[in-house]
Amino acid sequence: MNWIKDFFNKIRHNYYTIAKVVAFLVAIVLVCWLMPRTGKFKYEYQLSKPWQHETLYAPFNFPIYKDYETLTAETEAAAAKVKPIFVFNDGEMTAARNALFNAFEERWNGNLDKENNLDKLFVIYDSIENQGIVAYDNATSNLAPEDEVSVIRNKVMRTVRYGDFYTMNEATETVAVILEHLDSHFDKKMLSELLTGALRQNVFYSAEITKAETDKVVNAVSLTYGMVQKDELIVSEGEVVDEHTYDVLNSLQHEYTSRSMSSDESRRVLLSQLFLVALVFSLMGLYGNKLHKKVFAELRNIVLLLTLMLLIILPSFVLVRFVPGLIYMMPVCLLAIMVGSFFNLRLAFSTQVFAVMLISLVVPNPFMFIFMQLVATVLTVFSMSNTRAHHRFIQAALFVFVGYLLVYVAFTFLSTSEVDWYDILLLLLNALFTLLAQPLILMFERIFGVTTSLSLMELSNTNTPLLRELAATAPGTFQHSIQVANLCEEVLFEIGGDTLLARTGALYHDVGKIKNPMYFTENQHGAYSPHNDLSNYESAEIIISHVTDGIELAHKNHVPERIIDFIRTHHGTRRTDYFYINEKKAHPDEEIDPTPFTYHGPEPFSRETAVLMMADSIEAASHSLKDPDEKKISDLVDNIINKQMEAGQFLNTDLTLHDIETCRKVLKKKLMSIYHVRIAYPEK
């Protein structure tokens, strides 16, 4: 049973690594699950270009599909042959005829022959209504009298001229003409009034029946115009692809992607897809662990990275499965923008490449797709290089559209085909969809608890409530923080690092002094110090507590953890030497415990937090210099950094000795600029 115990011990000691592997496995399963399970046509070809592969024979029987233009023309021609369909409403006519008889009986009171008048009334009415009075409809308003239409009466459809129907005005005029030629044995006035009131529109245009007939005719148009038999020669090596061969190749590609596969074929395709997807994600993991160790060291970063990839890959698979023509509307470059905002541009480019590799496994014409996406990715990364510009998302969208457009036009001319404005519209929509990056970044910031340059730019605004409170309550500390932020930014610009993160962290590192501002020298006015009334232990406790007070204030104001890390670490595990030394002087014969005089840490763990520790101590100490000159400033910087190194404050960072030496030079140069110190030139 020892092997079981050893197995669980290994799991317990390597659970974090196992969790990372599980995250990749989940991503592999999701991608393979949603990937279209179809055969892949492996050949690239273009119209009027030589066939650059081996001679191709038909692998199975398949029909030759008509090209889009031919099929569209035939469909439109078939639809144009369908005549507008009208329906004759006999029920309306019968009801109006009965009402006409009742009206005649009520109004008749003359001395003329009643039967002849009644017969003439119905002869005129029936002749007009049986001919048909057509109702006006916008859909048929452009019909000419000689145009043929179809009319359905008693379930029988016949073809007539549109002009054979009466309009209501024409029917009324016809009544008047007929009555005018009658003799005096008829009551013309009464007949005219009765007929005019009884006439009803009884022929109505039916859009529904017309559409159904049109659909029936259109669906009857054949999609194909021939068959290719198995083992039949399709194209020989080096042969120029003409229009017929192009149609055959398109048909074969369509059959590969649409025909149902046998269970053996489906299993083989699934295994191939699983291998390729696992290979891509494995390469991504190896690449990340080698060149982006800090990012891939945290499970949260890996999960975020994989989630962003799936956000682009899975919808692309859905588009390819159901509407493959819309694949170029998918904003693939959105991935590079978001990864670049969360991590860095090098990782953004590589992640985009891996995602494009996966999507290209299922898209039609993968070579053009990969080429287009790589060009757009390079332009996207270039446009995102200025991480502090608010307009960079609009700039990235513009660059993406230009990159797509140039490649599309080039490939179109290469294939000697015409530019399709519909395709350009898709590319424009693609570029516009990349503007979703900003809200998506803010959403993922909340979900994963990470901080991007967007949040850092907002936090670095000195008009935020917490910094405004610091400026009002502890103005000296506020000015000190601004000076430290400037120093940190200059140093990290030289040695390499996140200057925006360091600047933002420096602005917030001393917010804890809001609670007891007068106990810190930069906020004191005059010679009096409240520490004069306290013991060294009490004073050290108040000074040290500004770190915990700052952490508490930052949490209340929803400051991200990356910024709170600067508050935690800016004093590391050093001592408040002033009060510790005073206590030793006051009790020379006693052993003084340094713990109450020591900050709780932790020590800096990044180059940004380490630079803040240097800049904070040096800026604060520089105010104690009297008549600062080049030597005093140089000695001050060297002494402070040497003490911090001796205390082991930088052991958890990746700063090299060369980096620290650069930090010294930059800090000295900046302090001399602040105090207007001239460089001492050697005497002749």
pLDDT tens, residue by residue, 153-174: 988 999 999 999 999 898 888 8
User: Collapsing DSSP states into helix, strand and coil, what is residue 255?
Assistant: helix
Give per-residue pLDDT as tens, 6-22. 666 666 667 788 889 99
* CA atoms of 538 and 93, how far apart (whole Å): 107
Residue 526: pLDDT above 90?
Answer: no
Highest mean pLDDT: which range of 61-65, 230-234, 258-262, 305-309 = 305-309
Residue 268: pLDDT above 80?
Answer: yes
- Residue 306: CA count within 13 A, CB half-sphere: 25
Mean model confidence pLDDT for the chain: 87
The β-bridge partners of 152 are 87, 157
Report the b/e string of 136-163 with b at 16+ CB within 10 A. eeeebeebeeeeebbbebeeeeeebebe
Residue 527: pLDDT above 70?
Answer: no
Who contacts 333 (Cβ-Cβ below 8 Å, separation ≥6)?
352, 373, 376, 377, 380, 396, 400, 434
The β-bridge partners of 148 are 161
The CATH T-level fold of domain 453-674 is: Hypothetical protein af1432 (1.10.3210)
Residue 411 is predicted with a pLDDT of 85
Residue 119: pLDDT above 90?
Answer: no
Residue matched to tokens 């000691």: 13
- The CA distances from residue 676 to 303, 350, 630, in Å, are 50, 46, 10
The mean pLDDT value for 280-299 works out to 92
Phi, psi values for residue 601, rounded to 5°: 80, -165
Distance of CA 549 to the CA centre of its chain: 40
Asked if 358 and 352 touch (Cβ cutoff 8 Å), the reply is no
Residue 324 is predicted with a pLDDT of 80
Going by pLDDT thresholds of 50, 70 and 90, the confidence category of residue 681 is: very low
The mean pLDDT value for 101-128 works out to 81
Give per-residue pLDDT as tens, 365-405. 888 899 999 999 999 998 887 655 567 888 889 999 999 99
The β-bridge partners of 157 are 152
- Residue 628: CA count within 13 A, CB half-sphere: 21
Strand-pair category, 62-65 with 85-88 = unpaired
* CA atoms of 38 and 273, how far apart (whole Å): 10
* Other C-beta atoms lying within 10 Å of the C-beta of residue 630: 15
pTM of the full structure: 0.66
Residue 633 is predicted with a pLDDT of 92
Q: How far apart are the first and last CA of the chain?
A: 85
Strand-pair category, 85-88 with 148-153 = parallel
Q: Which helix (H) or strand (E) holds 88?
A: strand 85-88
More confident residue, 418 or 60: 60
Asked if 172 and 191 touch (Cβ cutoff 8 Å), the reply is no
Phi, psi values for residue 14, rounded to 5°: -125, 25
**What percent of the chain is predicted at pLDDT more than 70?**
93
**What percent of the chain is predicted at pLDDT more than 90?**
46
List the domain boundaries for the chain: 2-37+263-448, 80-217, 453-674
Who contacts 446 (Cβ-Cβ below 8 Å, separation ≥6)?
none
Residue 620: pLDDT above 80?
Answer: yes
Residue matched to tokens 């025909």: 259
Q: Lowest mean pLDDT of 108-112, 188-192, 354-358, name the range.
A: 108-112
* Other C-beta atoms lying within 10 Å of the C-beta of residue 204: 14
The mean pLDDT value for 669-683 works out to 72
Nearest to 637 by CA among 596, 598, 666: 666
What angle separates helix 334-342 from helix 366-383, to the nearest 10 degrees? Answer: 40
Residue 679 is predicted with a pLDDT of 54
| Token pair in block for residue 44 | 């690239």
Residue 200: pLDDT above 90?
Answer: no
Residue 341: pLDDT above 90?
Answer: no
* CA atoms of 87 and 155, how far apart (whole Å): 9
The mean pLDDT value for 600-624 works out to 93
Residue 417 is predicted with a pLDDT of 67
Asked if 613 and 604 touch (Cβ cutoff 8 Å), the reply is yes
Phi, psi values for residue 156, rounded to 5°: -115, 130
Report the b/e string of 287-300 with b at 16+ CB within 10 A. bbeeebeebbeeee
Nearest to 506 by CA among 613, 356, 348: 613
Residue 684 is predicted with a pLDDT of 45
Length of the chain, in residues = 684
Give per-residue pLDDT as tens, 430-463. 999 999 988 898 899 888 888 888 888 889 999 9
The β-bridge partners of 575 are 598
The amino acid present at 401, given as its one-letter code, is: F
